[in-house]
Structure 1
Amino acid sequence: MDILWTLLTLPYAPVRGLTSVVKVIAREAESRQYDPANIRRELEELDRAAEAGDITPEERDRGQQRVLDRLTGAGGGGADTAAAPARPPRRPAARRQAAGQARRVDRRDDPERRRGR
């Protein structure tokens, strides 16, 4: 059975290989993003740029806030952060129904069900 499965899925081998390479790259990028040495280096670079006059103290503060938000996972820092929201905002019920999405009904609080009908 294993030989048959291997032969049938052989055309998908490049896709499986590419998927595993992408996973390794993503794991490495994430580990570097949260590495304390890299975070410290970024904060020191911001301080050096502010001392040299390349950026203003306000820009340094915004940069530090972005680094700390990335570290803590808080994506809603300010208006100038480029982080996308975790999920799209919910649409009001009337717009959901107009878009053809059914409204879920909670049957636990249904008066007809409580009466035993």
Structure 2
Amino acid sequence: MGLISLIFTWPVAPVRAVIRLGELIQEQAERELRDPAVVRRRLEELAEARRSGLISEEEESQAVEQLLQTMTGTRRG
């Protein structure tokens, strides 16, 4: 049965490989989004932009909220 299943599944092997590659890329991207070092660096960048006057307090607050929602995977409203 192994040879027969190999013959019939062989043509779709490239498709399955591309799907698996996509899954691996998605997993890596999600890990990076939730990496505490990346989140901390982004929060520091927001604080520096606020101190420099590049963004307002409201913009900083919105960006922090969005960052935290992305990190935790939750959405409000």
TM-score normalised by structure 2 residue count: 0.91
What does residue range 102-117 of structure 1 map to in structure 2 within 5 Å? none
Deviations 1:46-103 (Å, cap 9, x if unpaired)? 11111111111110011011111222333016xxxxxxxxxxxxxxxxxxxxxxxxxx
Name the Cα RMSD after superposition.
1.2
Q: Is the 8 A contact 2:34 2:72 kept in 1?
A: no
Aligned mates of 1:54, 1:62 — CA distance in 2: 14
Which consecutive unaligned segments of at least 5 residues does structure 2 have?
none
Aligned mates of 2:72, 2:9 — CA distance in 1: 42
Aligned mates of 1:65, 1:27 — CA distance in 2: 23
Tell me the equivalent position of 2:37: 37
Aligned mates of 1:31, 1:16 — CA distance in 2: 23
**Structure that is richer in helix per residue:** 2
What does residue range 63-102 of structure 1 map to in structure 2 within 5 Å? 63-76=63-76
Alignment-mate amino acid for residue 59 of structure 1? E
Count of residues in correspondence between the two structures: 77
Which consecutive unaligned segments of at least 5 residues does structure 1 have?
78-117
Tell me the equivalent position of 1:20: 20
Stretch of structure 1 that moved more, 38-47 or 64-73: 64-73
User: Larger Cα Rg: Structure 1 or Structure 2?
Assistant: 1
Deviation at 1:5, TM superposition (A): 0.6
User: Which structure has the higher relative contact order (CA within 8 Å, separation 6+)?
Assistant: 2
Deviation at 1:13, TM superposition (A): 1.0
